[in-house]
Amino acid sequence: MRVGCGYDSHRLAEGRRLIIGGMEIPFSKGLAGHSDADVLCHAIMDAVIGALGVGDIGTHFPDTDLRWKNAVSIELLKYTVELARMSGFRVAWVDSTVVAEQPRLAPYIEGMKAALSQTGIPERCINIKAKTNEGMGFVGRGEGIVAYAVCLLEKI
C-alpha cells in the first residue's frame, strides 16, 4: 500500500464556469486556471501522483504546455488513475475536503462522487467533505476555493 496527499487552490473569476469534482455547479463565478481549474480533481490527481512517487500534478500537466490549455480535469484524473493501474496499483480510497465560502457544496457531493467514479475509482471508495473557512483568509473572503485529498493505493 502507498499513501499520497494532494492540495490545490484556484481563485474565483467572472466569466468562468464552476467545475468541482467533474460537475458543473451553478454559481456567478468559476475558478481561474490553465485548465477548467477543477480543484477537487487536481487535489485527487496530486494525491495519486504523490502515492506513486512520480512528482506532482505540475510535473505531468504543466501550465506552460498548451496541450493542457482548457483541459477537462476529470479526463486528466482518468489518465492519472490509469497511470496508477499501469504502475501496478489501484485507487483503494480517496478522502477529500473542498473549502469554499460560497456556493454551498453539500447538495452536489453525491453528483461529484458519481462523476469522479467515471475515472475508474469506485464510487464507494470516494469520500468528499464540504467546509467553509468561516470568513477567514482568501477562501473566507470569497476570493478562491481550496481542495485537499488523501489517496490510498493498493498493489494489484
Q: How confident is the model over 6-24, as a mean pLDDT? A: 98
CB 77 within 8 A of CB 47: no
Domain total of the chain: 1
Q: The domain containing residue 37 runs over which residues?
A: 2-155
Q: Is the pLDDT of residue 45 over 90?
A: yes
Q: How far apart are CA 93 and CA 95, in angstroms?
A: 7
pLDDT of residue 67: 87
We report the CATH number of the domain holding residue 63 as 3.30.1330.50
| Percentage of the residues of the chain whose pLDDT score is greater than 90 | 94
Q: How far apart are CA 84 and CA 49, in angstroms?
A: 8
**pLDDT band at 127; cut points 50, 70, 90:** very high
CB 65 within 8 A of CB 76: no
Q: How confident is the model over 20-28, as a mean pLDDT? A: 98
pLDDT digits (tens, 9 = 90+) for 65-84: 888 888 999 999 999 999 99
Q: What's the mean per-residue pLDDT of the chain?
A: 97
**pLDDT band at 63; cut points 50, 70, 90:** confident
**pLDDT band at 93; cut points 50, 70, 90:** very high
Query: 70, exposed or middle or buried, with CB in 10 Å at 0-12, 13-18, 19+?
Result: exposed
Q: What amino acid is encoded at 27 in this protein?
A: F
pLDDT of residue 4: 98
pLDDT of residue 25: 98
Q: How confident is the model over 22-48, as a mean pLDDT? A: 97
